[in-house]
Structure 1
Amino acid sequence: MALIKSREEILHMHRAGKLLAACHREIAGRIRPGATTLEIDRFVEKYLERLGATPEQKGYMGYPFATCASVNDVICHGMPNDTPLKEGDILTVDMVVNLDGWLADSAWSYPVGKITSQAQSLLQATMDALLEGIRQAKVGNRIGHISHAIQTFAESRGYAVVRQFIGHGIGRRIHEEPAVPHFGPQNSGEMLEEGMVLTIEPMLTTGSWRARIDPDGWTARTVDGSLSAQYEHTIAITRNGPLVLTEQ
């Protein structure tokens, strides 16, 4: 059962979301060939500290970093490292911001320098799939309306939707009910109610939707080495439609 947030609680989450969006804008200017994901991670931690926030991921189930940094065939939960980014890479940075006890969660995929047309098309389709899902996040619909819209759009463009990793409710904890798959039948899942706050975070690939986990226990890759991208927003269900709390 989803936890319903009051208008005031959503305002708290919106403040966290605005801070997170500002951090992503700063990150965008730091992604270039030769930069490392570990440098970006350290910047994020210092940036949040300066503004009175903390990275909720750090320490979560033992995860040691402020961000997840996923390059090329890494779907999600990539661990920052000191390997320089290369021209043509695509990098997804995912983070959860805690501001005064309330959370916001957003992932963004970035081109590193000039990328191929295939990679650019994947980024655009993944962003568009997220927007298709958000449009369905309204009172009276079901979770399945979001799921089905994303899957239908992605597959119509020739992309696969990763199934092992899904969206979720969020509030004072990273993962709350309800689960938000990015695939499945339309009339499935919990009914959407005013005051729900969810993450919608489709991960698309140019090949198989299946993932494998690296020996580090975190890094999830496509089984066939195909490219993957992800975009994620935290959204609130309101009587006036979806409110994006992490808008850039």
Structure 2
Amino acid sequence: MIITKTLEEIELMRESALVVSKTLGVLASEVKPGITTLHLDKIAEECVRDHGAIPGFLGLYDFPNTLCMSPNEQVVHGIPNTTPLNEGDIISIDCGAIKNGFYGDHAYTFAVGEISPETDKLLQITKESLYVGIREFKLGNRVGDVGFAIQKYCEAHGYGVVRELVGHGLGRKMHEDPEMPNYGRRGRGKKFVEGQVVAIEPMINLGTHKIKQHKDGWTITTLDKKPSAHFEHDVAIVNGKPELLSTFAYIYEALGITSDEEDEFRQEALVL
């Protein structure tokens, strides 16, 4: 069952999402060769709590940390550890926070120093596919419309679209209906409604779409050990159109990047 939110609840969810956005912005300045994912995890927990929120992943389904940290061929759900990041790595950082009783949950894949052109293009196309999917999240469309758009865009570039892992509804629980696959057929699945909030999160592989789960019960890697990219936003339907609740603006500010990619999904100006 889809749990719709009032405008007041959507604004509370925006606060939760922005705690995550600000945390990712802090981490953007820290991601560099030699840093460990466990150190980044500690920074993130402090940042989330400093903003009056609770880490959303810590203890959820018994997950042991604040962040899911997934480098290179790891797709998602990587556990922070003491292994340093290396020049040329990529790292998906997925963060959640609970504030005002609602979850925020979004992710960004960072380059660690200079990365190969092939991997850089994977990150670029995966992030572009996120917005391709968000455009389809509007009143009257269906789940399959979002998945179809993402799949078509990524497969046109020769990439593998992960099937087993999906986006999801978001609210007072981390995972609500509906599931939001990154593949599908137009006109299929549940119809979107006003006040609905979802996390859309393409997980796209440089090679095969096939994945492997490791014995720790969490870590997911590509079957061919080629890199995987992951980007995620929290989005609501307001006045029939997609409205971003999360933002990459804090990341871009930290990295000195200028971008207008989010402008079309904001019915109100975002004040940093």
Aligned ranges 1:89-238 → 2 under 5 Å: 89-238=89-238
Partner of 1:81: 81
CA distance in 1 between counterparts of 2:170 and 2:186 reads 22
Q: Secondary structure at the match of 2:225?
A: coil
Q: What SS is found at the alignment partner of 2:138?
A: coil
Residue 240 (structure 1) shift:
4.6
Q: Does 1:7 align with 2:10?
A: no
Give 1:246's aligned residue: 246
For the 8 Å contact 1:138–1:239, the answer to whether it is kept is no
In structure 1, the residue corresponding to 2:185 is in which secondary structure?
coil
SS at match of 1:179: strand
CA–CA distance in structure 2, aligned partners of residues 168 and 61 of structure 1 = 16
AA of the residue aligned to 1:199: A
Instruction: Name the SS for the 2:13 alignment partner.
Output: helix
Structure 1 unaligned blocks of 5 or more: none
Report the secondary structure of 2:32's partner residue: coil
- In the alignment, which residue of structure 1 is the partner of 2:62? 62
Residues of 1 paired with 2:131 and 2:37: CA distance?
A: 27
Residue identity over aligned pairs, in percent, reads: 38
- Deviation at residue 97 of structure 1 after TM alignment: 0.9
Q: 5+ unaligned residues in a row in structure 2: which ranges?
A: 249-272
So what's the TM-score if we normalise by structure 1? Answer: 0.99
1:158: how far off? 1.1
List aligned pairs for 1:26-45, cutoff 5 A.
26-45=26-45
Deviation at 1:96, TM superposition (A): 1.1
Q: Measure how far apart 1:166 and its partner are.
A: 0.1
Counterpart position of 2:261: none
Moved over 3 A (4+): none
Code of the aligned partner of 1:42 = K
Contact 2:194/2:240 (<8 A) preserved = no
How many aligned residue pairs are there?
A: 248
Cα RMSD (Å): 0.7
Contact 2:147/2:182 (<8 A) preserved: yes
- Structure 1 letter corresponding to 2:90: I
